[in-house]
């Protein structure tokens, strides 16, 4: 088990290191989410109220995650490194888990900027909303890194990824918005946890079939 | 196999016969609904079509699972054809559902009906299946990626249904209630005949499409063999 977790850590560290050197994903995500929030300010009617802005926050988060996911497999694809990783003597699901953790780190970093900005510009966020964002991010990255690997194998992957991902993200948005606006967010948080568990296990089990020839 | 498979032609004839019988039962045997009147008749078509669409998606996912388990190539076409039939009947479901909603609720679409929204999510999901499938080069990789995606749909059904039930609590109060009266025995019989007929039509279409696709694939192989 130590070997498996070691593989995962090495793969995730590789992505973080690449990002630290090239800085081509995270700054884009942060700028995108801030720009989206500003656009939303002008998209909302003046009397729309706080509830509407929580909904828009979730749209902003999902699209920011999509931006990161679209780049997730770019390093592997460009140099043909994925073939090497698949041939490496480790469990293939470790590749998925490493990628999930790396994208989760990027998304969390973007959210660390986005959530205070949202609270400052729009409406206050309570603990339930933040917990909802954390749980939903987990699900977004777990499903997203698998779907992005599928899209990476296809032509027109930039167009394909949102099409594949958005229907799967609908339950996450429901749970996240519910956790943000409900008086008692526990039901929504439990639902998000359930989603994470179901789809993380599925993605973990299915990843091998997506990358092997 | 001990029982010979009925030929496609015989099945198609049976489907046409049952279809005729179900139309006759819907309009002449089943009583006119006291509440909704004649428009309720669309129920006998709409619900079986929706169930058939689910069956198509389910069949596609089942064959996808078989593909991943056995790695036999034939399951790929079967899975694809199942999803394809599910999508065809899905379009019909959305159209007949919208007509029924307009007739009985006065609107073409309502977000407060769980079944409608669930169906739309699932339909969008499986439409993306075709986009995915046709942007990957044919081969074992495509078979497996398509299969994994088709399988995800099955997990999405209960999760989405649960999500939509949750969403109704904060997005919409329940304004419309589902149709009131329970079915009488005759209505239920008409419904069942219609269901069997539509399922059979779907199965015949499935078999016909599969046969066509198989012939197509074989022809391509032959052509490649001749060319080389």
Looking at the partner chain, which of A156, A174, A194 has a beta carbon nearest the beta carbon of B167? A174
Number of domains present in the structure of chain B: 1
Looking at the partner chain, which of B128, B135, B170 has a beta carbon nearest the beta carbon of A155? B135
Looking at the partner chain, which of A166, A191, A202 has a beta carbon nearest the beta carbon of B162? A191
Residue that is written with structure tokens 């019988």 in the block: B21
Asked if the structure places residue B166 within a domain, the reply is yes
What residues in chain B have their Cβ under 8 A from chain A's Cβ atoms? 68, 121-122, 124-125, 127-128, 131-132, 135-136, 140-141, 144-145, 147-149, 151-152, 155-156, 159-160, 162-164, 166-167, 169-170
**Mean pLDDT throughout B6-34?**
84
Model pLDDT, residue B172: 46
Asked if the structure places residue B159 within a domain, the reply is yes
CB A143 within 8 A of CB A63: no
pLDDT by residue, tens only, chain A of 213 residues: 568 888 889 889 988 898 888 888 899 999 999 999 999 888 888 787 788 888 889 999 999 999 999 988 888 888 788 888 888 888 889 999 999 999 999 999 999 999 999 999 888 888 989 999 999 999 999 999 999 999 988 888 788 999 999 999 999 998 999 888 888 888 899 999 999 999 999 999 999 998 887
Which SS3 state, helix, strand or coil, does residue B59 take? Answer: helix
Q: Is A185 on the interface with B (CB under 8 A)?
A: no
Asked if the structure places residue B100 within a domain, the reply is yes
pLDDT tens track for B131-185: 999 999 888 889 999 999 999 998 888 888 888 878 776 654 444 445 444 567 7
A38/A132 Cα distance (integer angstroms) = 22
Residues sharing a CB contact under 8 Å with residue A37, sequence separation 6 or more, in sequence order: A56, A57, A60, A114, A117, A118, A121, A122
Q: Is A210 on the interface with B (CB under 8 A)?
A: yes
Model pLDDT, residue A194: 93
Residues of chain A in contact with residue B128, where contact means CB-CB under 8 angstroms, are 160, 163-164, 167
B91/B22 Cα distance (integer angstroms) = 21
Q: Is A151 on the interface with B (CB under 8 A)?
A: yes
Query: Which one has a higher pLDDT value, A145 or B188?
Result: A145
Q: Is A86 on the interface with B (CB under 8 A)?
A: no
Residue that is written with structure tokens 């790695």 in the block: B71
Best of B87, B127, B156 to mutate (most A CBs within 10 Å, chain A):
B156
Neighbour count for residue B94 (Cβ, 10 Å): 19
Query: Which one has a higher pLDDT value, B115 or B125?
Result: B125
Asked if the structure places residue B119 within a domain, the reply is yes
pTM of the model: 0.85
Kindly identify which residue of chain A lies nearest to residue B65, measuring between CA atoms: A206
Best of B159, B161, B171 to mutate (most A CBs within 10 Å, chain A):
B159
For every residue of A99-133, DSSP letters joined together read HHHHHHHHHHHHHHHHHHHHHHHT----HHHHHHH
Q: How many CB pairs under 8 A join A and B?
A: 94
Indicate yes or no: CB of B147 within 8 angstroms of CB of A163.
no
Question: Confidence class of residue B34 from pLDDT cuts 50, 70 and 90?
Answer: low
Q: What is the ipTM of this complex?
A: 0.86
Model pLDDT, residue B27: 82
Nearest Cα of chain A lies from the Cα of B156 at a distance, in angstroms, of 7
pLDDT tens track for A106-154: 999 999 999 999 999 888 888 989 999 999 999 999 999 999 999 988 8
Model pLDDT, residue B182: 57
pLDDT tens track for B66-97: 999 998 888 999 999 999 999 999 999 999 98
Q: Is A58 on the interface with B (CB under 8 A)?
A: no
Nearest Cα of chain B lies from the Cα of A13 at a distance, in angstroms, of 27
Tell me the residue range of the domain where B217 lies. Answer: 40-175+182-222
Q: Is A88 on the interface with B (CB under 8 A)?
A: no
For every residue of B154-211, DSSP letters joined together read HHHHHHHHHHHHHHHHHH----SPPP-SPPPHHHHHHHHHHHHHHHHHHHHHHHHHHH
Model pLDDT, residue B176: 41
Measured CA to CA in angstroms, residue A188 lies from A51, A56, A144, A147, A171 at distances of 16, 18, 21, 24, 10
Residues of chain B in contact with residue A199, where contact means CB-CB under 8 angstroms, are 152, 155, 159
Residues of chain B in contact with residue A198, where contact means CB-CB under 8 angstroms, are 155, 159
Asked if the structure places residue B71 within a domain, the reply is yes
């Amino acid at each position: 088990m130590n070997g498996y977790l070691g593989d995962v850590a090495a793969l995730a560290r590789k992505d973080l290191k690449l990002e630290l050197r090239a800085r081509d994903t995270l700054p884009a995500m942060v700028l995108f989410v801030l720009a989206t929030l500003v656009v939303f300010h002008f998209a909302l009617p003046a009397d729309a109220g706080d509830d509407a802005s929580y909904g828009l926050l979730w749209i902003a988060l999902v699209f920011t995650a999509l931006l990161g996911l679209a780049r997730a497999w770019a390093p592997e694809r460009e140099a043909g490194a994925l073939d090497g990783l698949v041939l490496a003597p480790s469990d293939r699901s470790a590749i998925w888990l490493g990628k999930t953790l790396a994208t989760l780190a990027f998304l969390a970093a973007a959210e660390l900027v986005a959530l205070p900005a949202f609270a400052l510009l729009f409406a206050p966020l309570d603990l339930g909303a933040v917990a909802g964002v954390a749980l939903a991010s987990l699900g977004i990255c777990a499903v997203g890194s698998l779907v992005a690997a599928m899209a990476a194998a296809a032509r027109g992957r930039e167009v394909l990824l949102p099409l594949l991902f958005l229907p799967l993200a609908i339950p996450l948005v429901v749970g996240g918005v519910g956790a943000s606006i409900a008086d008692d967010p526990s039901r929504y948080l439990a639902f998000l946890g359930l989603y994470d568990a179901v789809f993380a296990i599925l993605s973990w089990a299915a990843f091998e079939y997506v990358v092997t020839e | 196999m001990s029982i010979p498979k009925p030929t496609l032609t015989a099945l198609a004839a049976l489907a046409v016969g049952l279809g005729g019988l179900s139309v006759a039962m819907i309009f002449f045997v089943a009583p006119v609904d006291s509440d909704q009147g004649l428009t309720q008749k669309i129920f006998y078509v709409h619900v079986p079509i929706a169930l058939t669409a689910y069956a198509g998606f389910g069949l596609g996912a089942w064959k996808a699972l078989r593909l991943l388990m056995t790695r036999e190539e034939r399951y790929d076409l079967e899975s694809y054809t199942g999803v394809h039939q599910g999508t065809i009947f899905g379009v019909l479901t959305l159209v007949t559902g919208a007509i029924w909603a307009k007739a009985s609720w006065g609107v073409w679409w309502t977000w407060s009906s769980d079944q409608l929204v669930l169906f739309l999510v699932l339909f969008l999901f499986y439409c993306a299946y075709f986009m995915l499938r046709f942007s990957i080069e044919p081969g074992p990789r495509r078979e497996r990626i398509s299969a994994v995606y088709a399988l995800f749909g099955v997990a999405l059904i209960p999760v989405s249904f649960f999500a939509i039930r949750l969403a109704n609590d904060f997005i919409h109060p329940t304004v419309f209630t589902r149709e009131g009266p329970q079915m009488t025995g005759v209505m239920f019989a008409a419904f069942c005949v219609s269901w069997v007929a539509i399922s059979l039509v779907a199965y015949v279409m499935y078999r016909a499409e599969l046969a066509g696709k198989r012939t197509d694939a074989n022809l391509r192989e032959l052509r490649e063999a001749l060319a080389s």
